[in-house]
Chains A and B, each alone.
Chain A
Amino acid sequence: MRILVVEDERKVARALQEGLEGEGYAVAVAADGEEGFRLARREAVDLVLLDLALPKRDGIDLLAALRRQDKLLPVLILTARDAVEDRVLGLDSGADDYLVKPFTFPELLARIRALLRRGHPDPVLELKHEDLHLDLATRKVARGDHSMELTGKEFEILECLLRHRGRTVSRDMLASHVWHVTARATPLDNVIDVTMVRLRRKIDDPFEKKLLHTVRGLGFVLGERRP
């Protein structure tokens, strides 16, 4: 999978490149809009990460040009502009997703995976990891033979963690996936931490092997972290 990063901030571009290469993606970096457009046309690219404020050619402009060439190429906008109008403009111009800076890397990875997976939905009814089972139809959760009662939010958190098992899930991801809140000036971080403590009490505390881990500064991970 080849990802084109169009980002003029050198430090951010390099961090993105290293992070994505670490995840096994091939990465091309363009420092301005013109170069971005050239690379997108010349190389076979599976996904574009696009900054909006770019030298030479504005991101929205580039996006429109890309859309005229290839209707299906997934484009994820990364920008510091987070007013609702900006989001609407970005998505109206043909972007598939929108992530506001500063974002956490795990969330970016999750969105990239979701965009690359698009068109191949997985009809999963049951999620499991080691002895932990989660039945999406009956909403039953069990570890081995011990079934447990989870609240709605706890269940959804666990589902989110299981879907991304082995990968870090950030608090921002949980806020938008579980609480459906994208506004950031909310006291939701504390709620997430407390809910996580309770979830851990139920699925980890009574057992020898711990499944849920906190990744300091990033979020949470279920199972062993993939290198």
Chain B
Amino acid sequence: MSTGSFCVSFPIIFEDGVFWLLRIRCPPQESDLKSEVWEHSLRTFAAVSSMIDSSVTTIKYVQTHSQIPVPTVHFYDSGYDNVFLAPYIVMDYIDGLPAPWSDIDLENEKQSTNFYSQLCGISLAMSKLRFRQSGYIQSISSDPPIIGALHEWDGKQHGSFQRAIDYYRQLVDNYWKHACGGCTTKATLPNDWNWTVALSEEKDLFTAYLHRSCLAKLEKHEINNEFCLRHIDLKFRNVLVKGEEIVGVLDWDECSCVPVWV
């Protein structure tokens, strides 16, 4: 059994030596919903289900449109009305170790270059999967695939957008509104105010203000309205390695189409 922040996985071993993997998405607990832990994830059960649907669809899309090694999904249930009372996916077990636990030595120049070259190749392949709008891949029964809205940390929908600048405007607007709503500080700061003692809601307002400044600068640029696939957590732990070869890329939850800014 292995556990992640939001999932727990079990191997399924068949008599003929075939291995599958059962990955169960842990449902949010009441206490989680109120804590910061879930701030960056999806707060509503419906949003989690939608994200699991998209995760499976994305894996299938990546499998058919690129050489990126991903596990084959055998079946899944994105709802909560099942034996686990939680969304789950049953997929191939890939014979490999997460990169941090593999024998790859990143201090070794040759091994490190080889490993990074493979990762860059995967990233390049993902950047070539282009879309006309932002959001989650919802269906691949048509070409181009159907893209739906992203779900933000509070369950709100984001997009879908066909113009990159609209995507960024809503990001900034949502953050600004959230920060303004949470900050009760008066216009005049106390004399002893400084960043170290600032309240977290003040820091949020401050950062959201900086984001508004970034947006104002970004709006002066001409941004290409092309979108590509972005794996939200392409970290070593999600990369399976056998020997020195990458044999699998895991965790396609929250993978989405985002502006490619070129």
A and B from one complex: no
List A residues at the B interface (Cβ < 8 Å). Answer: none
List B residues at the A interface (Cβ < 8 Å). Answer: none
